[in-house]
Structure 1
Amino acid sequence: MPVPSNVYSHGQGPSCFDRMKMGFGIGFCVGMASGALFGGFSALRYGLRGRELINNVGKVMLQGGGTFGTFMAIGTGIRC
């Protein structure tokens, strides 16, 4: 999908900080998805139900998203 020409002035691409923000966002989404899968299965295996299940899966999703997003942002910053 092409980037609209009026987003960045004078033909320049996104700044390094913009790329790091995008890397964090993509990593956060991937980490949230993997946290939902792995956290959900492990919580069900432990026998959690109801509110305990939702709280545990939500915590695992945020932790996985934050961790993977941080590493993706660092990796993107290294590549700048």
Structure 2
Amino acid sequence: MPVPGGVYQQQGPSCFDKMKMGFFLGFCVGMASGALFGGFSALRTGLRGRELVNTVGKVMVQGGGSFGTFLAIGSGLRC
């Protein structure tokens, strides 16, 4: 016998929550791949010290932002 829905009925995450979670997941994956690819390319070009850290940081944020945006759009399309 099903339990009648009332005040205590659980609801799933909203569409905005799904998009937000998709963005954060994509941002983390993009940051990790940016660290790998940006680090290798910066070391290959001979950067050291502050230039290395600045370049790798910039590549990480760019990769995270772009991949996070694409994953958020994909999550929004599935809502």
Task: Please state if 1:63 is matched with 2:62.
Answer: yes
TM-score (norm 2): 0.89
Between the aligned residues of both structures, percent identity stands at 81
The number of equivalent residue pairs is 72
- How far did residue 12 of structure 1 move? 1.1
Coordinate RMSD, CA, aligned: 0.8
**Greater than 3 Å deviation, 4+ residue runs:** none
* Whole-Å separation in 1 of the counterparts to 2:75 and 2:20: 9
TM-score (norm 1): 0.88
Task: Please state if 1:52 is matched with 2:51.
Answer: yes
- Which secondary structure does the structure 2 equivalent of 1:10 belong to? coil
Structure number with larger C-alpha Rg: 2
- How far did residue 78 of structure 1 move? 0.1
Task: Give the aligned residue type for 1:33.
Answer: A
Corresponding residue number in structure 2 for 1:76: 75
Structure 2 gaps of 5+ residues are: 1-7
